A = this chain, B = another copy of it.
Amino acid sequence: MLRTHTCGELRLDHVGQTVTLTGWVQRTRDAGGISWIVLRDRYGLTQLVLEEGVESAEVREQARQLGREFVLSVTGKVAERYSKNDKMPTGDIEIRVAKLDVLNPAKLPPFLIEDETDGGDDLRMKYRYLDLRRNPVRQNLMLRHKMAQAVRRYLDGQEFIEVETPVLIKSTPEGARDFVVPSRMNPGEFYALPQSPQTFKQLLMVSGFDRYFQIVKCFRDEDLRADRQPEFTQIDCEMAFVEQEDILNTFEGLVQYLFQEVKGVDIGTLPRMTYADAMRQYGNDKPDTRFDMRFVELSDVVQGQGFPVFDAAELVVGINAITCAHYTRKQLDELTDFVKKPQVGATGLVYARVDSDGNVKSSVDKFYSQQELQKWSVALGANPGDLLLLLAGPADKTRKALSELRLEMGQRLGLRDKNSFSPLWVVDFPLLEYLEEEGRYFAMHHPFTSPKPEDMALLDNPDTIGQVRANAYDMVINGVEVGGGSIRIHDRAVQARMFSLLGFSDEEAQAQFGFLLDAFEYGAPPHGGLAFGFDRLCSLFGGADSIRDFIAFPKNNSGRDVMIDSPSQISAAQLKELSIETKVAEKK
């Protein structure tokens, strides 16, 4: 090694030793007769000192030539500092520089390599290799490493086997759009990159692998909303000879282990909530349960008093924003504007303050007597000082809007602390959802998910198909779906029926998934599994909103890597070899 120690490890014990450190110049300070350099590497910071009459004139002259981010090798004696810095782990010592070599000079970086940088997003992405030098970004990736190793340790200990599934697979029409790869050796044909290893992990169960996992890259060619990446990483898992309960317990154990190992937090047992309850109580299949503020359905309480908006509504539903009765007119107008935003979608907001004497004053007082308003207060469990917020309209839409308002109020009340964690399982998802615009049913989880046996009969009646529940489950933490899965179909006939419900002809099903249908006839065991979104899980553990800074080299919202300038054109010779041509010129 070009160094004897790292920049993070020297302490008073080392005083008097001659050491060699390597690293980057974090900053320099010259006070005339004495100057300091702070040297940085992955492991920490160490102060170097050069003093007139102590260190040589030659070395002091060298030090004057240094700029930020120069790469140095420095040899000298460890000395105790006169004024110690208890904010630096190495703050008790400094190095008296005897020898200084510039291993590589550096141009002035385009932004500050500090915890708080002056670089904008675009600049940071173009020079990602410099951005990665910043402490918070590096810490994120070290957290990710730590989590990946802990995941493997836990699953290995539970007899899971990590199996690599192929990246060059086959394009299938169901689900999101595939990235495809033209095959040179099979002209006119294409591989696809996997959206998940779903069918392969099921085949591994058919093969008797019993317990499989993989931390694996997956790919979706979707229009990128904020914080989506075309390539992302899953912790992908599958087990055979299990029921839903076994899977929930196993992966509850994984997440408990991760919180304990990585955050030192005991999250305890995960509560379970049905999809139906989640929608009714939170208007959301991934409820943020760090705070309560549950929905209370008020149609029975508020209808029939002559207020046309409520009377005409399919659903009137409210929340109690405790302690918010003091909200000003301006604040209440903000909330009204908030619920009317197109992405929230309500038509208006009704509110009612519970005064300190218990009187309720609402925005619709002309329709409601104090006696009626008291019923609201009771229904919502309100106390003096609370603010009641009510929305009305079509049930699904109104619940969705109130869910947004609830999250907004949670935010305003400081109830969504990034360092507090509230995980739960949401279970009993519907098997299918009907998309009006497509005029057919779609799999809510995916086409391989098993209906609940007790609901199988409901599949026979077109009117009840939508009520069939699946053995499907999501793990939700702080309002984020971090993982989800299901018990799978392992019977050819049931799988064929499922494809048929999803609009596949028998021929299409056989062409796309014949290998899986065939496999089910050669002794497929009952099985199920789940996948965690690893990028998201890391950002959650890191207390961040965005996944981007937990990915070493992310792409921007147009799917570009602006650092390497990709995607890019390829040569005519490459296109010819691949038996394809581009059609962009024609479009101009």
Contact = CB atoms under 8 A, between A and B. Distances in A.
A577 B71 CA distance: 47
A185 B223 contact: yes
A301 interface: no
Interface in A514-537: 514-515, 519-526
A23 B69 CA distance: 61
Interface stretch (A27-35, A52-60, A89-97, A558-566): A558-566
A522 B129 contact: yes
Given A169-B564, A207-B129, A163 B190 contact: no
Instruction: Kindly name the residue among A105, A199, A578 whose own CB sees the greatest number of chain B CB atoms within 10 A.
Output: A578
A581 interface: yes
Interface in A182-214: 182-193, 199-200, 203-204, 206-210
A568 interface: yes
A322 interface: no
A455 interface: no
A177 interface: yes
Given A551-B164, A579-B587, A526 B566 contact: no
A242 interface: yes
Contacts of A70: 523
Interface in A355-376: none
A452 interface: no
A231 B191 CA distance: 12
Given A241-B22, A523-B24, A561-B169, A566 B141 contact: no
Contacts of A144: 163-164
B204 A170 contact: no
Given A189-B568, A555-B168, A569-B190, A579 B582 contact: yes
B168 A566 contact: yes
A505 interface: no
A105 B523 contact: yes
Given A71-B523, A164-B551, A583 B582 contact: no
Interface stretch (A145-153, A304-312, A339-347): A145-153
A572 interface: no
A187 B587 contact: yes
A77 interface: no
Contacts of A568: 170-171, 189-190
A526 B103 contact: yes
A203 B129 contact: yes
A523 B69 contact: yes
Contacts of A242: 1-2
Interface in A534-588: 551-553, 555, 558-561, 563-571, 574, 577-585, 587
Contacts of A561: 166, 168-170
A40 interface: yes
A329 interface: no
A563 B184 CA distance: 20
A246 interface: yes
A487 B130 CA distance: 22
A208 B577 CA distance: 40
Given A132-B204, A490-B104, A181 B184 contact: no
A570 B71 contact: no
Contact of A567 (B145, B167, B183, B570): B183
B129 A148 contact: no
Interface in A365-390: none
A565 B522 contact: no
A179 interface: yes
A506 interface: no
Contact of A559 (B41, B183, B230): B183
Contact of A170 (B231, B566, B579): B566
Interface in A1-47: 1-3, 22-24, 40-43
A561 to B, nearest CB: 7
Contacts of A523: 24, 69-71, 104-106
A558 B168 CA distance: 13
Nearest to A70: B523
Interface in A134-162: 138, 141-142, 144-145, 148-149, 152, 156, 161-162
A80 interface: no
A471 B311 CA distance: 82
Instruction: Kindly name the residue among A168, A521, A551 whose own CB sees the greatest number of chain B CB atoms within 10 A.
Output: A168
A524 B24 contact: no
Instruction: Kindly name the residue among A70, A185, A233 whose own CB sees the greatest number of chain B CB atoms within 10 A.
Output: A185
Contact of A133 (B208, B520, B578): B208
Contact of A186 (B43, B164, B204, B567): B567
A179 B180 contact: no
Contacts of A520: 104
A173 B215 CA distance: 30
A123 B230 CA distance: 36
A552 to B, nearest CB: 5
A408 interface: no
19 contacts: A22-B241, A23-B208, A42-B209, A71-B525, A104-B523, A104-B524, A104-B525, A130-B522, A145-B162, A165-B553, A166-B561, A167-B231, A168-B230, A169-B561, A169-B564, A181-B181, A182-B582, A515-B563, A580-B581
Given A164-B233, A183-B559, A189-B568, 7 more contacts: A1-B243, A2-B526, A132-B204, A179-B191, A183-B567, A190-B567, A190-B568
